[in-house]
Structure 1
């Protein structure tokens, strides 16, 4: 059975239950999750204080799925995981919407935590998904865009 159980970039709401079900595994003694949601504030790149966020729009490069698969394959090679899952949402999201859900199942909790941390960190740094933030004061900015 494949270790990568769920891999997607989609414009539909994300389901934590779908991710939980995809990584359920009898060989796993621990499963770690990261759930990223849209918050109501962020520090603008040029500002020192947080600004009120009213909405986010995520965009993905056509290669995003391929890059996400590469990230997941590397995590699977580096950690003794039994299952991995990662889904990221694109499109316009409101405050409180889920933006990303990742999970790693492994024989022991330490391995699950470490693999999950690497998965979300590498996803954020290596998968070409960009965030456009709109602020209450009328300002906006791209985050993660080259």
Structure 2
């Protein structure tokens, strides 16, 4: 997994967090914000054992790169990238990471929030929950209700 500034990718392999962070490091920046979305053991009162993600890569990667490019234009940031996993993930594994580097923290926080919210809202990625009782269910991977990505922009 090669990460570059402005990049968004779908990965079937675990995300190399050290390489991800290093790719965004910039000595001109005084702030780095990293968001990691992890696989948790519950959802809507049900015990979750693992997750399975599917993405339509020919559409997902260009849309993801478009979102990162929007953040680079919209916010006073220097570097940004995101990676989303595909395939089977166990509890505690990072399913998505977003990193943003900037001169100051406020812009980095706002841009990071914008990127993750827009990915969840616009990028064709689907999540299947595998429950402890053996059942499975595809769940909506859209923006968290009540939060509008444009509210996080400055």
Scaled by the length of structure 1, the TM-score of the pair is 0.88
1:57 counterpart (35, 52, 55): 52
Report the counterpart of residue 14 of structure 1 in structure 2: 15
Structure 1 gap segments, 5+ residues each = 44-49
| Residue pair 2:120, 2:141 contacting (<8 A) in 1 also | no
State the number of aligned residues.
138
Structure 2: 5+ residue stretches without partners:
143-154
Contact kept, 8 Å, 2:77 with 2:103, in 1: the verdict is yes
CA contact (8 A) 2:54 2:127 kept: yes
RMSD: 1.6
Distance 1:16 1:145, change over 3 A: closer
1:104 matched to which residue of 2?
100
Q: TM-score normalized by structure 2?
A: 0.84
Shift of the alpha carbon at 1:140?
2.1
Please name the residue that 1:47 is paired with. none
Q: Which residue of 2 aligns with 1:74?
A: 70
Relative contact order (C-alpha < 8 Å, sep 6+): which is higher? 1
Q: Shift of the alpha carbon at 1:99?
A: 0.6
Q: What is the distance in 1 between the residues matched to 2:18 and 2:31?
A: 17
1:114 is matched with 110
Q: Which has the higher strand share?
A: 1
